[in-house]
Structure 1
Amino acid sequence: MKTLRYIICSAALTFTTGVVSAESKPPSIIDYDSIHHPVVAKNGMVVSQQYLASDVGLEILKRGGNAVDAAVATGLALAVVLPRAGNLGGGGFMLVHLAEDNKTIAIDYREVAPKAAHRNLFLDEKGQVDKRKARFSHLSAGVPGTVAGMELALERYGTMEWEEVIQPAIDLAEKGFVVNWDLANQLSRRSTHMGKVASTAKVFYKGDGEFYENGETLVQKDLAWSLKQLQKHGAKAFYEGEIAKKIVADMEKNGGIITADDLFSYQPQERKPLVGTYRGHKVVTMPPSSSGGIHLIQMLNILEHFPIADYGVNTANSIQVMAESMKYAYADRSKHLGDTDFYDVPVEWLTSKKYAKTIADKISVNKVTPSSDISAGTRPKYESPDTTHFSVVDQWGNAVSNTYTLNFSYGSGIVAEGTGILLNNEMDDFSAKPGTPNAYGLIGGEANAIEANKRPLSSMTPTMVFEGDNLKLVTGSPGGSRIITTVLQMIVNFVDHGMNVAEATHTPRFHHQWLPDRLFIEPAINKDTRKLLQSRGYELYESSTMGSTQSIQVEDYIYGSSDPRRPNAKAAGY
């Protein structure tokens, strides 16, 4: 049997008969013959970035819950066991597919700017962006949407009671869970910042300031209290009850601007998903305030004009054509994307086959166009990095694709005193100063300027792919600005190259976002291909691994694959 030494983010992953399990220390020998085999199930599947949360969702499915019940339970559990990204204090996007009605719904529970926010919120006296304020202060928090979004999804499309689906998260917070080596390492690395915030140190570090070690138990009493408040009173506890009071008190004490009225006024939005087509497949994805869905469809429309399958997987030609399409999409993102409640986003034009053809005509496999020669298209006159994704499919064919985030790993690093809840730093996703890059290097314009009650632009791209009316793929990823291109490559691998969900997940990735004018590549990209790309004019930048897709393929059985690029993920099915 062949073996391949395959090291990804120091993650320890063992592949045996298609089942992925996370180990507590990082050996790195992987069985190459089994790397392409997904986890197989007959009745239901939950794929998430943390194995304990996947098990929680799977247990809900086994009890007869549907995909939404399992998704909400998984999301609440991730808030406990994956504090870097799972959250109650952030926000996100959820796609829900209802098989019986052949209908897909988009739920937007993205954070909103507080009422006191204004376009110059993070500018200093010289008119420059104060990065500390924008990213690591109470001012950096948008009004959280996760709790309201999860409750809305469960009430409208679930079958179980809130009290039941939240209980596993309460147990994990109150009784504690075993700290794995990745969590221990993450908390140690961030102690310089997080350890200095008293409310955060109380939760994630020992009383003497020592770090939690691999194998020790992390108990989160304040978070358990918050979850019990939610179990008893529902989302009202967060937006107008005892949790809200603690958040507002913490804001007032530390110069934040989220008020009781901000929390009380928050509402998630149910939206019509975006629908595109790609080589006979229907692609259903998230509308704004996600930029991901628009530009995913835009890039797929461009790629339809090129024989990607004939070029081959990650050849110089296929990478070049895809990278050029990425440049044009991210240039458009910088100008045309924002919250549709505040800005007239030209969705139909950006996702039209006609506009894609004008871009495709500019792309050649023999010539690289410098980013300096590319600008956002002119609309017709008539017209982060830590996030986490999970996917669920149940025995009736219902499905959920959910991506939610605190923005950075652990958000701002600030826990609201007495709640155990980490605050997001999503305000940095606005254009603090139009034309100035944010933390992910993304350029934004007036459409995404800071404004009260506005949702900041996001790259989160929960997506489903159908063949006719048959659901085939549920996917999504974290990764900041790289989310959109990661999801793009999953779909291209699946549709053009005929890969199964595990093969599509494991294939090396690349990314271009227009500015900076660099082609980011994972270490496993072939060296001969690199030389060809460099000879054509690309500046290559070897990056750490990109994204962490958690995906499900539906065929005769349900096939799940967790991305090994980050440790402790699990595809759990039965």
Structure 2
Amino acid sequence: MTLGGANTANGYSGGDYLSEESVLRSYPLYPTKKRRCCNVNGDGFTIISACFCIFTTALTIAFIAQLNYGSPQVTPHGAVSTDEEECSHVGITVMRDGGSAVDVAIASILCMTVVHPHAVGPGGSGVMLVHDHKTNTSTVVDFMSGVPRSHRADEDQPLPTDGRSIGVPGLLRGLEYAHTKFGKLPWRKLFQPSIDIARKGFFVSAHLEEALGKSNVTQVDGVTEFDKTFFPRGIMLKKGAFLQRENYAEFLEVVAKHGADSFYALNFGVEEMEALQENGAEIHVKDFEDYEPRERPCIHMSLNNMSVFTAPAPFGGPQLLTALQLLRNTNLTTHLPLSNYYHSFIEAIRRSYAGFVGLADAEEAELQNMTHALLQSTSSEWIDQTVTAADPNVFRLPEQTASSVSVIDTFDRYVTVIAGLGTYFGSRVMTKSGILFNNHLSNMPPHSHPDSEHFSHARPLNTYTPVIITDVQQVCGMRAVLSSPEVGAMIQVISQLLLRGQNLTQAIQQPRITIRPGLDQVFVEDMGSIDRLPGTVRNDLQTMNHTLQIIHLPYSSVNGVSKTKDKLVSRSDARGGGVAHRLEPASTHTVNITTDL
């Protein structure tokens, strides 16, 4: 199996027609034996009348249900969007085999741990947002890195490649928790595609090459596992190089068979603990044993008759809602010049970040109150043409990266998951099994260490932003599932979608700017396959006293799926290099969706 290639073992690739039979008929639609609804020995008129009443009642109930929820038996379809076509293919295959949206998300993110090791892996952490549209219920599964008990929070902020930056990994425990609660297929079945890819090998993506180039590795000794994997024979991996990960496949086999405890009970413990301690990490065995994911309530707001659901702190949701509130107060209209929008994006991102990082020092019990106060503080603020200077003293989160997956399944369940290592390749501490550890503790500013159990396994602040959007007034109106490791990118996409009236494809494809904390520069993308920010807009922003600077690859992506009535649009952001896949009835071609259908 190779990246971007056909899956000959299964007899189809992303461009073939996919059967919906297993999704449609995971259980019989009608009883296999004929049953009579009436006693044949009774009076004929009574029989006819009774059967007629039953029939009309059933028809009425079915009609009302279809008006409210649609009919998956009529048009069974779903979609998955990731940063790698092979992983979208894995996800849609799991959906075809009857997997739930959570099963699809787990299988897809496990695939990403194989082919995008620079962004995500078992040594990382993340967040999952699960929404059942039919019951209108949402769950946030927080599996962000835990803070070791021995962490000295009063010391200087650790550098990204400092062993002290490594938090207790949450990925496998979080995925297992979500699977136990929402999964349908066996745990092992979700691992098998990734095991096969790791063992058979795959072609290195452009995104992995770009991340290696950005890692600024100037000296390779060929001794560390990191060097052996990514700089074989002292030469950096390039796009198109063939890479096999046999050791990692063996690790996945063990976890598939024995569950996440095989990692957290440290069946690989000697190897892992030696790697961690040699690099100065503060994690001990008990930190691994005690780690648990957490369920958190969603936070949400209403914007233009749409509900925007997202994850609370320590994730990027509070900054997202604060920025959207500022933009709503500013009363942007579709008739405004594009430069006004980008000016507003810049100001909204900068102002909302200043409040968001104030949550970094909050104790767990105070997060909800502090988030509410943050949103209230901007309830009457609006954005004018005055440029707000960046505060050079503001705490600066390292630039985050991660893999993101968005899923809508055939039964209107929506899932968005974002998981990562922190910055590219995390701490660069790598085991013989191919596990890279995160550097999420570099996201924590120095602060006093409370001597209380509540601080144990606190969560460092990060910008991972899962979003689900639903129509307030119409059950079958537009719904969207979006995921990104970068809250600033998500602010712009949702604004394009809900304030400018763009469709999903246009909103994701639009040029984006990047704002970095503490810096007055506005970073502009320069990528050939993405529309550049128009020259007139750049000139107008400079006239408004914004200083522009080019930012080079790789960029943060936003992956999404939207649905209006039974019409699906799926989009993998070109910035991440992915291709989305969709499951449709057999008469419909399943391809990467780049435009509305």
TM-score, normalization by structure 1: 0.80
Aligned to 1:393: 408
* 1:93 corresponds to which of 116, 127, 145: 127
1:175 aligns with 2:179: no
- For residue 200 of structure 1, the aligned residue among 219, 222, 226 is 226
| Residue in structure 2 matched with residue 228 of structure 1 by the alignment | 253
Q: Are 2:464 and 1:460 equivalent residues in the alignment?
A: yes
Q: Secondary structure in 2 aligned to 1:359?
A: coil
Q: Secondary structure at the match of 1:454?
A: coil
Pairing 1:105–2:139 present: yes
* Map of 1:3 onto structure 2: none
Q: Secondary structure at the match of 2:489?
A: helix
Say if 2:310 and 2:465, in contact at 8 Å, map to a contact too. Answer: yes
2:579 maps to which residue? 570
Residues 335 and 181 of structure 1: is their aligned pair in 2 closer, same or farther, counting only changes over 3 Å?
closer
C-alpha distance 514-169 of structure 1, shift in aligned 2 (>3 A) = closer
Whether the aligned pair in 2 keeps the contact of 1:114 and 1:142 (CA below 8 Å) is yes
Query: Superposed, which structure 2 residues align to 1:140-289 within 5 Å?
Result: 140-184=165-209, 186-187=211-212, 190=215, 191-192=217-218, 198-206=224-232, 208-212=233-237, 214-289=239-314
1:114 has 2:148 as partner: yes
Residue 462 of structure 1, CA deviation: 0.6
CA-CA distance at 1:157 after TM superposition: 0.6
307 and 255 in structure 1: CA distance in 2 versus 1, 3 angstrom threshold: closer
> How far 1:393 moved relative to its partner?
0.9
What is aligned with 1:472? 479
Offset of residue 279 of structure 1: 1.3
Question: Partners in 1 of 2:87 and 2:392 — Cα distance?
Answer: 46
Q: 1:320 aligns with which of 305, 327, 343?
A: 343
Question: Which secondary structure does the structure 2 equivalent of 1:264 belong to?
Answer: helix
Task: Supply the distance in 1 between the matched residues of 2:324 and 2:153 (Cα, whole angstroms).
Answer: 34
Q: CA deviation at 1:249?
A: 2.7
Q: Aligned-pair distance for 1:343?
A: 4.5
Matches of 1:521 and 1:179, distance apart in 2: 27
Q: Is the 1:500–1:553 Cα contact (8 Å) retained in structure 2?
A: no
Shift of 1:519: 2.6
Match of 1:425 in 2: 439
What does residue 33 of structure 1 align with? none
Aligned counterpart, 2:374: 350
Give 1:441's aligned residue.
none
Whether 1:539 and 2:547 are equivalent positions in the alignment is yes
Provide, for residues 97-142 of structure 1, a one-character-per-residue CA deviation record: whole Å limited to 9, x for no partner.
1234221110100001111111244x4xxxxx5xxx5211332211
Residue 387 (structure 2) aligned to one of 368, 392, 404: 368
d(CA) in 2 for partners of 1:106, 1:60: 22
Other-structure match for 1:548: 557
Equivalent position SS for 2:333: helix
**Which has the larger displacement, 418-427 or 458-467?**
418-427
Alignment check: 8 A CA contact 2:202 2:243 kept: yes
Contact 1:237 1:244 in 2 (8 A): no
Q: CA deviation at 1:184?
A: 4.6
Aligned to 1:520: 523
Aligned AA for 2:347? E
Name the amino acid aligned to 2:439: N
**The structure with more radius of gyration:** 2
CA 189–118 in structure 1, closer or farther in 2 if over 3 Å, else same? closer
Give 1:380's aligned residue. none
Whether the aligned pair in 2 keeps the contact of 1:505 and 1:549 (CA below 8 Å) is yes
1:245 to partner: Cα distance = 3.8
Matched pairs, number:
495
Pair 324,374 (structure 1): closer, same or farther in 2 beyond 3 Å:
farther
Give 1:373 deviation, angstroms.
12
Residues 19-58 of structure 1 deviation map (CA, whole Å, 9 limit, x = unaligned): 999xxxxxxxxxxxxxxxxxxx961111100111111111
1:561 is aligned to 2:576: no
Q: What one-letter code is carried by the residue in structure 1 that aligns with 2:274?
A: A
Question: Which ranges in structure 2 are unaligned for 5 or more consecutive residues?
Answer: 5-12, 16-74, 527-531, 584-597
Unaligned runs of 5+ residues in structure 1 are 1-11, 13-18, 22-40, 124-128, 377-383, 435-444
Residues 500-537 of structure 1: CA deviation (Å, up to 9, x unaligned): 11111111112435622233333422222222222222
Paired residue type of 1:271: R
Q: Does 1:409 align with 2:424?
A: yes
* Distance across 2 between alignment mates of 1:176 and 1:373: 46
Instruction: From the superposition, tell whether residues 178 and 336 of structure 1 become closer, same or farther in structure 2 (CA, over 3 Å).
Output: closer
Amino acid at match of 1:392: V
Instruction: Work out whether residues 400 and 463 of structure 2, in 8 Å CA contact, stay in contact via their aligned partners in 1.
Output: no
CA distance in 2: counterparts of 1:532 and 1:188, whole angstroms: 33
The amino acid across from 2:506 in the alignment is E
The answer to whether the Cα contact below 8 Å between 1:42 and 1:557 also exists between their aligned partners in 2 is: no
Are residue 529 (structure 1) and residue 537 (structure 2) matched? yes
Whether contact under 8 Å (2:471, 2:479) holds in the other structure is yes
Judge conservation of contact 1:407–1:425 (CA < 8 Å) in 2: yes
CA displacement at 1:70 relative to structure 2? 0.6
Cα root mean square deviation, aligned: 2.9
TM-score by length of 2: 0.77
